Structure formats: C-alpha cells, structure tokens
Structure 1
Amino acid sequence: MALNFDFFNKWVQDNLGIRLEAYKERQMQRRIGNIMKTTGAQTLEEYAKILSTDDKAREAFIEHLTINVTEFYRNKDIFNEFEKVLKDVVAKNTTRPKIWSAACSTGAEPYTLAMILDKENINGSIVATDIDKVILDKAKKGQYAPSELKNVSKEDLLKYFTKQTDGSYVVKPSLKQKITFKRHDLLKDRYESRCDVIVCRNVTIYFKPDARDEVYKNFAEALNPGGIFFTGATETINNPEQFGLHKVESFIYQKG
C-alpha cells in the first residue's frame, strides 16, 4: 500500500513546524516508514494521529529524522586544519570570537570547540543549536562513551572530563559553562548574527540542492567579514563565491 507522503509532509509542517520537503525524498521517506512501523500504524494518517497525542512517539519521530552520528574531533586531520585557521582568524579579526555550532547533535562538536578555546586561551563564546530537544538535553548533560572520545588525549580526558563508574565520561562544569545550548531549525528559524566562526558538519548532505543553497546563503550572511565556515568531510560547496565565500582549506571557507 502506497503511503500518502503529500498529506504527511503538510501535516508535519503545520503541526511540528518541520519542512520535510527540503530533505532528500527517498532517504526521508525510508526513515519515516521505518519509524512509523515501530508504533503499529499502517498508514501515515494513523501515524499522524499517534504523533498528535503521544509525546514520546513525537520525540522519537523528531530524533529519528536527525542523523546523530558524532564524536569529539570528528575527522581529526581536518579538525587540526580548522584549529590552525581558527587561531589565525582570531589573531587577525577579534580577541573574543562568537562561534556557532549548528546542528550540534549530542554536543561533541561544541565541547570540542570549547576545549580548543580553553587550550589556546581564547576568550570566546559558543552557541550550540539543534532541532531535536531530546538530543539537546543529552548535549547539556555531556555524558559520553569512550568510543566517542577516541580522538581526545589522555591529558584532556583528565582535565575536562570526570570518569563515571560505568566507564563513561561527563564533561566538567568548567567546560559546560562556555556553551549556550538552544533549539534551532536551520530550515525555518532566524539565524544567529555577527558570527566569527560557524561550524555545521555532515548535515546539508541530507538536504535537497535548493534547501542546501538556502542554508549556505544564510550561514554566509550570519558571518562577520573575514569569518570562517567549517563544513563536514562529505560536503563541498560548489561555487562558494555565489555566497560571498572562498575556500581557504579543505572544507573550510572564509567570508570576503
């Protein structure tokens, strides 16, 4: 039986404020079909009724839509390049950079940024956002399995984390206080402004080209002149000049 995705896309837009049509169609429909089956619903109309009354099902749906695969210093070699560029930009443009970690997932990325700022004695601010409230709550808690911390040195583990009896690690309050977490939808909410650095990695690959270009345009407008935008290892911006950006390193772009 064919599923009525036209109905469901409109229902989600009207009731949850999420633009499903901006995501790549086959991937999104497959993910929706998989999560729908877990509720016992046979049609998207039935599934919409469940989502309208069941808070847990609604939270599970939103969490399933987002791809929350993350780790500290993800793609370490690329992150090392980013760290060099970050120090150079800060030295030239500002002593107090504003950094936006967009689509931050469970928080590994903004905490990585906070560690870099601390080790480099840079007095900056970090805003970390994601569409998923459940994921943001996990980020605020800051508890991670050893596998997510494989790129963190033993010295930094001791300095920035507290080991738990179950073998996991919790970010220390001194690092947490450097970050402000809040909910944000890249496809419909107002963007941050006057950013010196924006980090958004391995997210736009799930968007259709028009939506992806809209996001890049908005990121560029959110940057200060000379600011940098750091993308994921699976993402390359074709013709970055159309957004007022130019490539300075692999997956790193600068405004102006």
Structure 2
Amino acid sequence: MNDYQQFIVNIKKKTGIDLAQYKEAQMKRRLTSLYEKRGFKSFQEFFQAMETDQNLFHEFLDRMTINVSEFYRNAKRWEVLEQRILPKLFERNRRLKVWSAACSTGEEPYTLAMILSKFMPLSQVSVLATDLDENAISRAKIGIYPERSLQEVPDEVKKKFFTKEGIYYKIDEQVKGAVTFKKHNLLADPFETNYDLIVCRNVLIYFTEEAKQSLYHKFNQALRPGGILFVGSTEQIFNPLSYGFETEDTFFYRKVE
C-alpha cells in the first residue's frame, strides 16, 4: 500500500470520508500542494500532524471539500428556478420540502430561502442544508460573507437581507432562521425522502462516474414523484431517464411520475 492509499484508509477511519470515491489525480494534487505548503514530506506525516492539530484538520477539510461558493451563483439558473420551477411545485404543494445538499459555507441554502420568501413569509420557509465539512457548516451558521460572495446578488435583495459590517456583509437573522444545517456525507449516509426540491450544484464533478451514478439514483429515490433535482452548470445529466428523471429545463430534472 503506497503513501496515499494508506492516507485514504486513515482518513476513512477518522472521518468516514472515502477519498477513493473522488478523482485521484485531482484530489492527490490538491492535498499534496497543501501538505508541502505546511512543510510536510509525505501523506503519513501530514496525517499524523492532523491528529493533534485541529486547525490543520479543518484546513484539510476545506481543501478536500472545495469550498468555492457565492450567492445566486449562475444567476440565470436561479431566475429559472424562481419563475418556472417553483410556481409549478407550489401548485402541487404549499409547504415544500427542500434540501440544499453539499451546501458548503451556506450561500446556496440562504439564496434558496431568500427566493422562497417571495412565495411565502420567511417564518414559513424551511430549507435543510447539509455538508460533510463541519468547519464550513460552522461558518455558514455565522452568516458573515466577503463582498465577492455577493457579486450576483440583486441590489434590492442585498438591501433587504444584508447589513454591511466593515468589509463584510451579515445576512438577516430571519433568513438564517429559515435554514437548518446538518453534517451529512452524500456518499455514505442515508437520504431522507419526499423532497419537492433538491439542489446539489458544483460538487458532483469531483466524484467518479460510479459515485455520480449512485447519487443520481439516490436523489431520485429521495424526491416525491414530480420533484425536482437542480444541478450545477457543468453537471448536465445526459441520460436522465436511466435514473428515473425527465429534463424539465437546462440543469433541472423532474422525477418521473
């Protein structure tokens, strides 16, 4: 067993995360640059240091889970969600069950909550947001973001839901109250069911084909008939029917009824 393979085994024991399900060349390169920057010479040395250094462990999780996020990322897709997808879902059910999977530092589920608030009072909005990285979830709960995270936020939304504090923006407490954060491993943990909408964007590209196919099936089973899966702009599903989906719009897939 080589240095990286042993590292995979150690990480799975420590965290339950299976690095073998991620594309090896990409992940290895990303983690090697991190441990070299921190002065380690091997994955073994790096792992031993992580055992005692919580900050280093969080840095590893950050690097591994690719926390690149912003509000209203690919804004045109969120417009489609608001104008075409949600009205149809609300016709079927006034209290939608919504899941933001692999939510990173919270920009996506908070965007969802703000959009849903156009259809109902924020006090009635409920979004489940999950991620593997507890550090990212902790930051999401704080709800303070740099300006670059708000580049695509419409001005009226920024005025309504954000307060400027120095060079950062703090999100409204009511929006925070509409989102429940939990730790969840997409590749290993069971999924709840009867969702009307699942949003999982810009994470599947990091998984192997086998892991991706398994997730499409699991997402399908987690949705109600007619429920929608919303994926990222590089994650088009080319054979949706084989997973029980029909294309509703670009990057939106409806569970076949």
Fold match, TM over 0.5? yes
2:40 maps to 41
1:252 maps to 252
SS in 1 for 2:201: coil
**1-side partners of 2:45 and 2:148: how far apart?**
38
- After the TM superposition, which residues 89-168 of structure 1 pair with which residues of structure 2 at under 5 Å, given as runs? 89-121=88-120, 123-164=124-165, 166-168=166-168
Cα-to-partner distance string for 1:210-240 (whole Å, 9 max, x where unaligned): 0111111111111111100000001111211
TM-superposed deviation, 1:3: 6.1
SS in 2 for 1:157: helix
2:186 maps to 186
**1-side partners of 2:22 and 2:238: how far apart?**
19
1:56 maps to 55
Q: Which amino acid in 1 is paired with 2:161?
A: Y
**2-side partners of 1:66 and 1:207: how far apart?**
11
Q: Once the two structures are aligned, what percentage of the paired residues are identical? A: 40
SS in 2 for 1:68: coil
Q: Any conservation in 1 of the 2:131–2:184 contact (CA below 8 Å)?
A: yes
Cα-to-partner distance string for 1:2-37 (whole Å, 9 max, x where unaligned): 962111111111122111011011101101111211
Q: Any conservation in 2 of the 1:98–1:124 contact (CA below 8 Å)?
A: no
CA-atom RMSD in angstroms: 1.6
SS in 2 for 1:120: coil
Q: Any conservation in 1 of the 2:109–2:179 contact (CA below 8 Å)?
A: yes
1:24 maps to 23
SS in 2 for 1:191: coil
SS in 1 for 2:130: strand
Greater alpha carbon shift after TM alignment, 144-153 vs 178-187: 144-153
Cα-to-partner distance string for 1:163-202 (whole Å, 9 max, x where unaligned): 11x1321011111110101111111111132111000101
Q: Which amino acid in 2 is paired with 1:58?
A: F
TM-superposed deviation, 1:86: 3.1
**2-side partners of 1:201 and 1:43: how far apart?**
32
Cα-to-partner distance string for 1:131-172 (whole Å, 9 max, x where unaligned): 1111111111111122211222222222111111x1321011
Q: Which amino acid in 2 is paired with 1:153?
A: P
2:212 maps to 212
1:86 maps to 85
What TM-score comes out, normalization by structure 1 length? 0.94
Listed as ranges, the gaps of 5+ residues in structure 1 are: none
Listed as ranges, the gaps of 5+ residues in structure 2 are: none
SS in 1 for 2:41: coil
TM-superposed deviation, 1:48: 1.8
**1-side partners of 2:186 and 2:230: how far apart?**
16
1:201 maps to 201
**1-side partners of 2:23 and 2:86: how far apart?**
36
SS in 1 for 2:61: helix
Q: Which runs of 4+ in 1 moved over 4 A?
A: none
**2-side partners of 1:140 and 1:4: how far apart?**
36
SS in 1 for 2:170: strand
TM-superposed deviation, 1:61: 0.7
Q: Any conservation in 2 of the 1:230–1:251 contact (CA below 8 Å)?
A: yes
1:234 maps to 234
SS in 2 for 1:212: helix
Q: How many residues align?
A: 254
**1-side partners of 2:10 and 2:168: how far apart?**
39
TM-superposed deviation, 1:78: 1.5
